[in-house]
C-alpha cells in the first residue's frame, strides 16, 4: 500500500481540423490510466491516480503531423508546475508511439516537461497492436522516472528496480514466454515498461510503484504535500 498521490493533469489535443483525439477518447485514456496505476488490470496498486483538470484543443496541421519538430510550440500550452502532468496528443508515426521527459530533468527545462503520445494509441484507437491506451501508461511511467525493463540488458543495475527480472532484449508482439537472461526468472513481458503489444501488458510491480513514489516525492510533489 503506497501513499495516495493524485496527479493533476491537462490534455492538449493537436488536430489538423479533421484528424485527432476526441474528448471522449481523452477521457477513456484517463480512465485507463487510473485502472492501470490502480492495479485493476493486474500487478501492484501504485497509489497513483490522475485527475483531468482540462483539455485544450489546437488546430495546426504542421504541429499535429510533426510534434517533435514543433515541440517548443506545442508545449506553449503547458499548465502547472512539476506536479502537473501535461499530455500532448498528436500524430507521431508507427515507430515512435510516444515519448516523455524524466522527472529529474524538470529543473533544467520546465517548459519541455510532459508526455507526447499518438492519438491513435488511445483506447479504441486505430493502431492495431497499440490500441488500449497502454502507450500513455508506459510513457507516464517514464514521466515518473521508470526505465524500460530491458535497460542495461542482463547487466546490473538493469532498470534500477529489484522485482523486475532483467531482460536482454525488448519484447516484440506477445509471445507466450521468453527468457533472455538465464537464471534470473522469465522476462517481464507483461510489464507496462516492456515493448510488448498492448494485449500483452497488464502490470507494474511493487518495486516500480515504490520508485515512482520516490521520484514523485523527490522531484514533483508540491511542497506542502
Q: Which does 97 bind (CB under 5 to 8 A by kind): Ca ion, ligand ARG, none?
A: ligand ARG
Shortest Cβ 151–ligand ARG spacing (Å): 11
Which of 11/131 has CB closer to ligand ARG? Answer: 131
Q: Count CB neighbours of 11 within 10 A.
A: 26
Residue number of the CB closest to ligand ARG reads 135
Distance CA 219, CA 174 (A): 34
- List Cβ neighbours of 115 (8 Å cut-off, separation of 6 or more): 85, 86, 87, 88, 98, 99, 100, 101, 136, 139, 140, 142, 143
Which of 211/225 has CB closer to ligand ARG? Answer: 211
Which of 42/222 has CB closer to ligand ARG? Answer: 42
Residue 178 DSSP one-character state: -
Considering only residues 168 to 187 of the shown chain, the ones binding Ca ion according to CB under 5 A are 179, 181, 184
Cβ–Cβ under 8 Å, residues 97 and 118:
yes
The dihedral through the CA atoms of 51, 164, 220, 10 has a sign that is negative
* Contact pattern for Ca ion over residues 75 through 114, marking x by CB under 5 A: ----------------------------------------
Which of 37/134 has CB closer to ligand ARG? Answer: 134
Shortest Cβ 129–ligand ARG spacing (Å): 7
Residue with cell 524500460: 148
Q: Which does 52 bind (CB under 5 to 8 A by kind): Ca ion, ligand ARG, none?
A: none
Instruction: Give the CA count within 13 Å in the CB-facing half-sphere of 43.
Output: 25
- List Cβ neighbours of 16 (8 Å cut-off, separation of 6 or more): 59, 60, 61, 64, 65
Where does this chain bind ligand ARG (CB under 6 A)? 97-99, 130, 134-135, 138-139, 195-198, 201
Using DSSP's 3-state secondary structure scheme, residue 68 falls into coil
Catalytic residue among 71, 139, 167, 223: 139
What CA dihedral angle connects 164, 165, 168 and 173, to 10 degrees? -70
Q: Which does 130 bind (CB under 5 to 8 A by kind): Ca ion, ligand ARG, none?
A: ligand ARG
Q: Mark whether 214 is an active-site residue.
A: no
Which of 42/62 has CB closer to ligand ARG? Answer: 42
Q: Which does 88 bind (CB under 5 to 8 A by kind): ligand ARG, Ca ion, none?
A: none
Annotated active-site positions, please?
A: 139
Question: Rule CB under 5 A: which residues touch Ca ion?
Answer: 179, 181, 184
Amino acid at each position: 500500500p503506497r501513499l495516495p498521490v493524485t496527479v493533476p493533469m491537462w490534455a492538449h489535443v493537436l488536430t489538423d481540423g479533421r484528424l485527432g483525439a476526441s474528448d471522449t477518447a481523452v477521457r477513456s485514456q484517463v480512465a485507463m490510466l487510473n485502472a492501470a496505476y490502480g492495479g485493476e488490470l493486474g500487478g501492484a496498486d501504485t497509489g497513483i491516480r490522475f485527475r483531468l483538470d482540462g483539455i485544450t484543443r489546437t488546430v495546426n496541421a504542421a504541429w499535429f503531423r510533426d510534434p517533435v519538430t514543433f515541440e517548443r510550440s506545442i508545449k506553449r500550452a503547458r499548465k502547472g508546475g512539476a506536479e502537473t502532468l501535461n499530455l500532448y496528443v498528436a500524430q507521431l508515426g508507427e515507430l515512435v508511439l510516444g515519448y516523455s521527459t524524466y522527472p529529474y530533468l524538470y529543473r533544467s527545462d520546465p517548459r519541455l516537461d510532459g508526455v507526447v503520445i499518438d492519438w491513435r494509441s488511445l483506447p479504441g484507437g486505430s493502431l492495431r497492436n497499440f490500441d488500449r491506451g497502454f502507450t500513455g501508461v508506459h510513457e507516464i511511467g517514464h514521466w515518473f522516472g521508470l526505465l524500460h525493463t530491458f535497460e542495461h540488458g542482463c547487466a546490473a543495475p538493469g532498470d534500477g528496480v529489484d522485482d523486475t527480472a532483467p531482460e536482454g532484449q525488448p519484447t516484440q508482439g506477445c509471445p507466450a514466454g521468453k527468457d533472455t537472461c538465464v537464471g534470473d526468472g522469465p522476462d517481464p513481458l507483461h510489464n507496462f515498461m516492456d515493448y510488448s503489444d498492448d494485449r500483452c501488458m497488464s502490470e507494474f510491480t511493487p518495486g516500480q510503484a515504490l520508485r515512482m513514489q520516490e521520484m514523485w516525492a523527490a522531484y514533483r510533489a508540491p511542497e506542502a504535500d
